[in-house]
Amino acid sequence: MELSHRVRQILDLLLRSPSESTVAEIASGIRVSPRTVHRELDAVESYLHRHGITLYRKAGSGLSVEGEPSQIEKVRSELLMPAEIEYSADERQVYLLARLLGSREPVKLFTLAHEMKVTVPTVGADLDDLTDWISKQGLLLIRRRGYGVEITGSEPMIREAVRTFIRFRLDDLSLIGYSDHNPHHPVDARIASMAGAERISAIEENLWKWEERHQEESFSEEAYTDLLIRLSIAAARIRTGIIVTEAEADRLVNLRRFDRPSAIPAQDHTLKSAELLCDELGQVLNMEYPLSEVRYTAELLERASAHSTGMLPADDLELAGTVRSLIRKMRELDANDYTADRSLRDGLFMHLKAAMERITAGQRIRNPLMDTIRKDYAELFGRVRQAADAVFPSVRIPDEEIAFLVMHFGAARERIGQIPQHMRAVIVCTSGIGSSKMLAVRLRKEFPQLQIVEQASWYEAARIPRTDYDLIISTVDLPLPEEQYLKLSPLLTLSEAEKLRDYIRRRGVKPLPDPLAAVAQPLPGLLEDLAPELREWPAGRGEAADTADIESLRSLHRTLQQSIELLEAFRVLPLRIEAQPSLDPWLRAACTAPALRDVILDPEAVAALLLQREQHGTQLIPGTELALFHTRSDAVKRPALMLFELDQRFRLGDSGDVELSRFLLMLAPRQLERETLEVLSEISATLLDADMIEALAEGDEGRIRELLSAHLRAYLKNKLERE
């Protein structure tokens, strides 16, 4: 009997384990779902039985094997022998993409068939299925008799395709934590190799150091992770001799100039930063970065910076309305009122924005937690499925995405169930660098109610006032009693996520014991070196706690001040143009309005950004003759909100028979304080309220200001209670 690769992996883990192994642990070890492991256990048990070894399945504890040591060793030796790999249809297609995108020359169909142990017609059928996806990436699949098969296109587009298809198979954090010592499916191994996984830790260390020294504002965790993987893909391509050409680099710069006119002055600074980063990476990786690759890296840095600052919160009003409908439908089906949970609203918006793009593009969605979620949260899964079917009648949401939505609603239930909405955590690692960033990304995905206030080394964390956090989460052992902190791996396995969930439930928000009290006596190693500073710390502790309270009040003050400034500056203004009614002249007229003279530094640049944003999709408020136009730009001095009444109606893009009569203009600087972003987010959330839509349609300035004020008061009250 031929063993599948997955059965071999399970057998290997069981035979090497000195104690019982749970299904969840095995699933985590081989990167599949627990349900998949259960499905393979019959084959595992049958194979072991034929070799005189018994597999014990104990409910509630785990799996174990029993047999003669010599027989177990014999089976282990057999498993080390090479085995034929049988690929599924999906695996074949991923293999083909990896093989062709990684090749500099055409590959014969016969060679591909031989490598995957299938027939040439099977390879041809798989390539037929891939043609549409390859085309959507801006690439061309060439197939000619006697020539072979290859994927052609510009190098930046090929790298973009590599980044996209990596997501089909490997989670970003799994890729970063990839190890050759663990068993992997051959397809995963090939993808990891394309992404340069063997050198990604070295790239990460240098990227973090570069960011600390040269980046004025840190990247968000998501932007940092994406940048790291793109840099690793680029390094792997350069190492094989495949580089971005000067012409391709020129096109990238020109495209960015069109997308973000206000960012042109920053190019020289970004290029110098990219040169420094490429020099450092070149030394570590022992390779040279030509000028074209430095320019390509500069574009990656620009993209990461733009992603970190992002667009304004009111990015997609149609999607915002969909999120609202989903939450309300869940309230009807469930005993819980989710409508006041801002974390749920924002989390669903961010998730569905990317999810709908994946579904629309026909991308295969992977959720390694799906089977576990379906089993452990069956009732909630069913209700979310029912709500999604009602809210998305024309689109079938895959079960994998439903499982992701269940995670959001499950977290909301926990918040309703008295798990604090903003429990504050400090993440500690050996040096405060990459591993804490990896863990922070995973925690934000799994625990949206967790507010990460600091990522630091233990030396730094020991000086954070105790009043500033509720939890200590560490990737390393700390000189503290076990009940005072939780140790997790950077990848946050399923069992660790459940462990953290239980820890939060048990602890609630009881004040943490003072970490310093636990190190009052001299301790060996690091803390022994730090003892003098640690002993001096308690003297100023009260002052530090007071400082934290004062900063909290300052944050509230900034939020209140920004709310007042926006409300006082808000106006309903008439707008007239001499030209034929179209969006371009209307936006230019709005940006040059006298009321915005002290707000906009470069009206032409801002109007161009607004027009470019509209080309990606209409901003019409559903069911109205209103639209919202918004952007963030270095050419905007301070946030502003205005309603313009047009003297002529006109049809907006693909809005059908709807003619636009008014539009809201929301502007903000590219760099924003957190409080300002929160206020703008709250304002955008009011735009779908029936009372607000009515007031906007009537152009009633006083009523609009009154409704905005009431909503912001409720938000400030909620913020005050949280702080």
Quote the pLDDT of residue 564.
92
Question: What are the structure tokens assigned to 696, written together?
Answer: 């906007």
What is the pTM (predicted TM-score) of this model? 0.53
The residue whose two tokens read 């296109």 is: 153
Q: What is the spatial distance between Cα 398 and Cα 384, in angstroms, rounded to a whole number?
A: 12
The answer on pLDDT for 11 being more than 90 is no
User: CB–CB of 197/180 below 8 Å?
Assistant: no
Per-residue pLDDT, averaged over 553-567, amounts to: 88
Range 110-128 average pLDDT: 91
For each of the domains in the chain, give its residue range(s) and CATH number, in order of start: 5-80 (1.10.10.10), 154-309 (no CATH), 317-416 (1.10.1790.10), 423-520 (3.40.50), 554-722 (3.40.930.10)
Q: Which residue has the higher pLDDT, 272 or 60?
A: 272
pLDDT > 70 fraction of the chain, expressed in percent and rounded: 75
Residue appearing with tokens 């995108």: 101
Write the DSSP assignment of 230-276 as a string of letters: HHHHHHHHHHTT----HHHHHHHHHHHHHH-GGGGGGHHHHHHHHHH
| Nearest by Cα to 665 from 706, 610, 605 | 610
Q: What is the mean pLDDT of the chain?
A: 77
Question: Across residues 359-379, what is the average pLDDT?
Answer: 70
- Over residues 517-543, the pLDDT tens digits come to 333 333 333 233 333 333 343 444 444
Q: Which residue has the higher pLDDT, 250 or 318?
A: 250
- In angstroms, rounded to a whole number, what is the distance separating the alpha carbons of residues 611 and 325? 29
Give the total residue count for the chain. 723
d(CA 253, CA 497): 42
By DSSP bridging, strand 471-474 and strand 486-487 are parallel
| Token pair recorded at residue 114 | 């031989």
- C-alpha to C-alpha distances, 406 to 387, 402, 573, nearest whole angstrom: 11, 6, 44
* 583 vs 581: CA distance, rounded Å: 7
User: Looking at residues 295-309, what average pLDDT do you find?
Assistant: 80
- Is residue 409 within 8 Å of 373, Cβ to Cβ? no
Per-residue model confidence as pLDDT tens digits over 50-108 = 888 888 887 666 888 888 877 887 777 666 554 556 777 878 888 899 999 988 889 99
**Mean pLDDT throughout 362-391?**
79
pLDDT classification of 568: cutoffs 50, 70, 90: very high
- Tens digits of per-residue pLDDT, 232-259? 999 999 998 999 999 998 887 665 544 4
Do residues 618 and 603 make contact, with C-beta atoms less than 8 angstroms apart?
no
Average pLDDT of span 25-53: 83
Per DSSP, the residues of 538-558 read GGGHHHHHHHHHHHHHHHHHH
d(CA 151, CA 157): 11
pLDDT at 529: 32
Higher pLDDT, residue 250 or 482 = 250
| pLDDT of 1 strictly over 70 | no
pLDDT score, position 542: 46
Residue 546 has pLDDT above 90, yes or no: no
Identify the band that residue 159 occupies on the pLDDT scale cut at 50, 70 and 90. very high
Residue 655 confidence (pLDDT) above 80: no
CA diameter of the chain = 93
The DSSP line for 603-660 is: HHHHHHHHHHHHHTS--BPTTSSEEEEEEEETTB-S-EEEEEEEEEEEE-TT-TT-EE
Is 106 in contact with 142 (CB distance < 8 Å)? yes
**Band (602; pLDDT cuts 50, 70, 90):** very high
